[in-house]
Amino acid sequence: MGPESCFDFVKLPKTDLHVHLEGTLEPEMLFRLAGRNHIPLPWKSPAMLREACRFRDLAGFLAIYYKGCEVLVTEQDFYDLARAYLERAAADGVVHTEFYFNPQLFCRESTPLAAIMRAIFCAMDEMRDRISSFYMGTVMRTRPVEEALRALDELAPWYDRIVAFGMGGAENGNPPSRFQRYFDACRERGFRTCVHAGEEGPAAYVREAVALGIDRIDHGNAAIQDPELVRLLAERRIPLTMCPISNLRLNVVNELSGHPLKRMLSRGVCVTVNSDDPAYFLGYASDNWAAVHRALDLSGAELRQLALNGVEASFLPEARKAVLREKIKRVLPSA
Ligand code: HPA
Ligand code: ZN
């Protein structure tokens, strides 16, 4: 596509709307925190952990991801994690991030929820001038819906700082519809809703998400198999937060040239590019842009549309959206 083929995607003002804070824990920090908290690890070094990041599927990844979460114990640990992620994302040209964090993973006597939330919000506030960020709560779909409702209740003291709630974890056998009460409760309390669907699960799970009135769907790859569903997503402009490198590493796609992102985009779906768990998938936001651009030979107009979709799909107020659109148009002017 001409000059953009060597485009430096760090310079593109980007959003990252599907990233798990726990999945930004780099191996070096993971080892440092394990050392200071005296937590034994199954790997001998950060390099060996990186070696272990050759996943067969989502389950294989989640096992290592949950293991990694064990080293996060003190308030300082959560602050260090959030601060490092926001610094890195800002340096990567991310102008706005909406990240997930799942307190269900850290229900331990030793770590009061208040300390965790204080740490994360403190890092967000300190970084405010360099990157805008929203916190999204999330729950595990492998646990009972009652537990999700309890997790939602437990975050009540911080509702004014939370924009949305989502759901992740092992997808197959755990359809969105099982969590209808949770999503209804989220909406009743004024939150936007998101759900991981169609990553390893079928198009039917994406359909369920649409039927549940979910605002934004994480991944959504399988929808490509249902042309009527693709039309529905396009018509309603229900965004998909796609994560190309994650999909490659978890064998959701065999190669990036077969990724459905470009086909969805051409059919008018509000698809966006995101990083998911960058420390484990070895790619941050700009790496995802570069990889998908290389594999799918995206045109300047497609790159611009993808970047603008990220702004549209965000939960930002209109005034900030307008500022970000202008930033994008300055870097990627229309032909
Ligand atoms: N899918 C489901 N759950 C997750 C993921 C994912 O890609 N990352 C972190 N939790
Ligand atoms: Zn995810």
pLDDT per residue as tens digits for the range 211-240: 999 999 999 999 999 999 999 999 999 999
Give the pLDDT band of residue 3 (cuts 50, 70, 90). Answer: very low
Provide the mean pLDDT of the chain.
96
Average pLDDT value for residue range 292-302: 97
Give the pLDDT band of residue 326 (cuts 50, 70, 90). Answer: very high
CA angle 290, 295, 299 (to 5 degrees): 75
Question: Among 199, 200, 208, 302, which one carries the catalytic annotation?
Answer: 199
Helix (H, G, I), strand (E, B) or coil at 260: coil
pLDDT per residue as tens digits for the range 55-73: 999 999 999 999 999 999 9
pLDDT per residue as tens digits for the range 20-60: 999 999 999 999 999 999 999 999 999 999 999 999 999 99
Provide the b/e sequence for 285-315 (b: ≥16 CB within 10 Å). Answer: bbbbbbbbbebbebebebbbbbbbbbbbbbb
For the question of residue 4 being annotated catalytic, the response is: no
Give the residue, by CA position, lying nearest to ligand 1 atom 7.
276
Helix axis angle, 113-126 to 75-91, nearest 10° = 30
- Cα 143 to middle of ligand 1, angstroms: 14
- Which domains, and CATH codes, for the chain? 4-331 (3.20.20.140)
Measured from the Cα of 65, ligand 1's closest atom is: 9
Give the pLDDT band of residue 5 (cuts 50, 70, 90). Answer: low
Helix (H, G, I), strand (E, B) or coil at 148: helix
> Ligand 1, from 21, 53, 199, 281: best to mutate by most atoms within 8 Å of Cβ?
199
